């Protein structure tokens, strides 16, 4: 049933990127189109700041990604806007306090990305540990010679120590997977967590004792460039660094220094600053730095669940309710 707002008009929902399933029966976009006027941005590239602002002038709801910045400029003329549904867990691209002051709900998609992102974290950890990128590059550049007992040696994982910085849902899922490898697990956060499968540790002890350090912090003012020269300098020289959180957590110049001066052995990143990272960026040239293009939640199942959760929050908000996934500060 098509919904109408207080003025008798059908609310407009602006979707900044095509959602999974498109308009197939029962798909997220199909569900929206049954009740609202749906305006989908047609390009692969996100709208510019000005294009985004123009769309928000008439929208009652918007589905955003990390590529859109929702700030005072974007919201300047957004007089109809009631809900911003972020397609993802993180929402550092949105000024939530400003939205709250304007009576605009901000929602995200927690839980549904946990397993997909934890799986990718482990894919990166294993790839970095066994030097998969370097081995594949060797084949592609005709450097694969006769079998040699000391060529392309990596590290074993069994019995090693994994340090988790940020023991939230994803950090815990990564730690749970480590149990299958019979690893020692250390974690650092604001406080100990009874359900976490590991030992609470100071950051200093975690970095000095861990063979692998995986970061799962939210990005905010206190965590920006949290992983800097001091952070990497406290790790083992044989240590491997993994980041599937946010690119802004890392001082990338300091990481480059650490990787090129034997401060740590390798890094594997799913997130960078900026995104996409230019092909000429200094990290892109390093054989001991694996980078994937922010694919932590990129499974068919996770993305469909994310889209449906965003749609649920829009429907609930525009029908006068409070969405279950409302972000609170």
Give the pLDDT confidence of 108-147 residue by residue, as tens digits: 999 999 999 999 999 999 999 999 999 999 999 999 999 9
The better pLDDT of the pair 265, 8 is held by 265
How sure is the predictor about 3, in pLDDT bands with cuts at 50, 70 and 90?
A: low
Q: Which residue has the higher pLDDT, 24 or 311?
A: 311
Residue 2: pLDDT band with limits 50, 70, 90: very low
Residue whose pair of structure tokens reads 């604001």 in the numeric block: 190
Distance CA(272)–CA(252), nearest Å, equals 8
Mean pLDDT across 156-183: 97
pLDDT above 90: residue 187: yes
CA distance 11 to 81: 10
Task: Decide if pLDDT at 6 tops 70.
Answer: no
Domain ranges, ordered by start, for the chain: 12-112+300-318, 114-291
pLDDT surpasses 80 at 77: yes
Compute, in degrees rounded to 10, the torsion defined by CA atoms 162, 167, 169, 172.
Answer: 30
The secondary element (H helix, E strand) that includes residue 137 is: helix 132-140
pTM: 0.91
Distance CA 41, CA 48 (A): 11
Closest CA to 246 of 24, 82, 88, 49: 88
Look at the domain 12-112+300-318 and name its fold.
Rossmann fold (3.40.50)
Distance of CA 300 to the CA centre of its chain: 16
Other Cβ atoms closer than 10 A to 14: 23
> Could you please report the per-residue DSSP string of 144-162?
--S--TTSS-----TT-EE
How far apart, in Å, are the Cα atoms of 326 and each of 25, 28, 105, 248, 311? Answer: 27, 19, 6, 24, 13
Where in the sequence numbering do the catalytic residues fall?
A: 246, 275, 294
What phi, psi does 314 have (nearest 5°)? Answer: -70, -45
Question: In the sheet where 37-40 sits, what is the strand order?
Answer: 37-40, 12-15, 61-64, 83-86, 105-107
Percent of the chain at pLDDT exceeding 70:
97
Q: State the DSSP string of 38-56.
A: EEE--SSSPPPHHHHHHHH
Q: In this structure, what token pair is assigned to residue 197?
A: 């499968």
pLDDT band at 9 (very low <50, low <70, confident <90, very high): confident
pLDDT tops 60 at residue 1: no
Burial-class residue 153 by CB neighbours within 10 Å (0-12, 13-18, 19+).
exposed
d(CA 31, CA 280): 42
Q: Find out if CATH 3.40.50.720 is the number for domain 114-291.
A: yes
Cis-peptide, bond into residue 274, ω within 30° of zero: yes
Tokens (6 digits) for 298: 């990129």
Largest CA distance in the chain: 76
Question: Does 12-112+300-318 match 114-291 in CATH topology?
Answer: yes
**Does position 293 have pLDDT exceeding 60, yes or no?**
yes
Here the tokens at position 34 are 């049954």
Tell me the DSSP string of 240-289: EEEE-S-GGGB-HHHHHHHHHTTSSSEEEES--SSSSPPTTSGGGG-TTE
User: Is the pLDDT reported for residue 198 higher than 70?
Assistant: yes
Weakest mean pLDDT among 24-28, 60-64, 65-69: 24-28
């Amino acid at each position: 049933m098509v919904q109408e707002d207080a003025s008798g008009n059908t609310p407009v929902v602006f979707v900044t990127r095509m959602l999974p399933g498109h308009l197939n029966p029962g798909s997220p976009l199909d569900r929206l189109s049954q009740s609202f006027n749906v305006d989908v941005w047609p390009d692969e590239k996100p709208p510019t700041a000005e294009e985004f602002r123009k769309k928000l002038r008439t929208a009652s709801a918007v589905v955003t990604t990390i590529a859109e910045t929702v700030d005072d400029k974007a919201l300047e003329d957004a007089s109809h806007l009631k809900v911003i549904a972020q397609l993802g867990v993180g929402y550092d691209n949105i000024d939530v306090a400003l939205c709250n002051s304007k009576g605009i709900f901000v929602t995200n998609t927690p839980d549904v990305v946990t397993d997909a992102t934890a799986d990718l974290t482990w894919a990166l950890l294993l790839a970095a540990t066994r030097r998969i990128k370097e081995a594949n590059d060797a084949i592609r550049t005709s450097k694969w010679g006769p079998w040699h007992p000391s060529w392309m040696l990596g590290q074993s994982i069994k019995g090693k120590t994994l340090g988790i910085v940020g023991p939230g849902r994803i950090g815990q899922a990564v730690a749970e997977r480590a149990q299958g490898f019979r690893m020692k697990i250390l974690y650092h956060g604001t406080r100990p967590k009874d359900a976490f499968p590991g030992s609470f540790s100071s950051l200093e002890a975690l970095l000095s004792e861990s063979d692998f350090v995986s970061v799962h912090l939210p990005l905010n003012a206190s965590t920006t460039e949290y992983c800097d020269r001091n952070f990497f300098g406290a790790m083992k020289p044989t240590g491997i660094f993994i980041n599937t959180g946010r690119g802004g957590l890392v001082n990338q110049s300091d990481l480059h220094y650490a990787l090129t001066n034997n401060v740590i052995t390798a890094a594997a990143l799913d997130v960078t600053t900026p995104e996409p990272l230019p092909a000429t960026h200094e990290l892109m040239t390093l054989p001991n730095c694996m980078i994937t293009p922010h694919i932590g939640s990129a499974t068919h199942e996770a993305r469909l669940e994310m889209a449906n959760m965003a749609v649920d929050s829009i429907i609930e908000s525009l029908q006068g309710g409070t969405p279950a996934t409302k972000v609170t500060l």
